[in-house]
Structure 1
Amino acid sequence: MVEETPVPMEHNPHADDLLMPKVVYILYILGPFVTFTGIIGVIIAYVYQGSAPDWLKTHYRFQIRTFWMGLAFLIPGILLTMVLIGWLVLLFWVVWLIVRSVKGMKTLGERRPVEQVERWSF
């Protein structure tokens, strides 16, 4: 009888690298409902982007841009709530933020870089 030697499990040194981008996406999804999670998320993205592999850097850049673009929707939305159109802007911001974050998480789960990081759309 031939004795089989166990096959060593491959250790992926970047498996843990997916945790922080996931945390940022989750913080962004919680952002419309829990104060300051977006700010915490963008700080994490800024801190971790330098040491990430290139494909993961696209996620961090996407997350940073999502924060700043979202702020460009959020501030006018808040200011315009007195005129009622601000509520529509805020609703758009919530949907936009959640869709971008979910799509980013999906791409991250597939271990693919974000394509078109510079886009404003979903």
Structure 2
Amino acid sequence: LRKLAAVRQIEAAQLMIAMNKFSINYAKSLVGATPPSQLADTSQPKKLAGLSDAQIALMENESTKLDKEYQLVEESYGSDHLDLVVARGYLCRLLENARVVRYLAQSFPEILSEFQKMTTSAQMPV
């Protein structure tokens, strides 16, 4: 990771922690997928054994896209999780009502089955 600029080192470390992967091969792949502008020594071109310049450029593009997607998911995770917890709670309360369960069983048995699966999984730790 010393080959990376300071900001990219932090990003790479965060990715390694998030993926729970701390191997040398994973670190090398992160360095390989890093654009030259984010390297510590921008004067030296990257050289990866067995990869062409086109493959390296493709890895850099894919890595950039993946980083952006990861950051978007990370930003929205808290509010999405809260929405899910609230929805599960509401669903549990609905299924405690015998009239609602009877109506769903008569009219929409497949939906009731899915709702019951959701409430069962809601009791498991998240």
Same fold (TM over 0.5): no
Q: Which has the larger radius of gyration?
A: 2
Instruction: From the two aligned structures, give the one with the greater helix fraction.
Output: 2
Q: TM-score, length-normalised on structure 2?
A: 0.33
Structure with greater contact order relative to length (CA < 8 Å, sep ≥ 6): 1
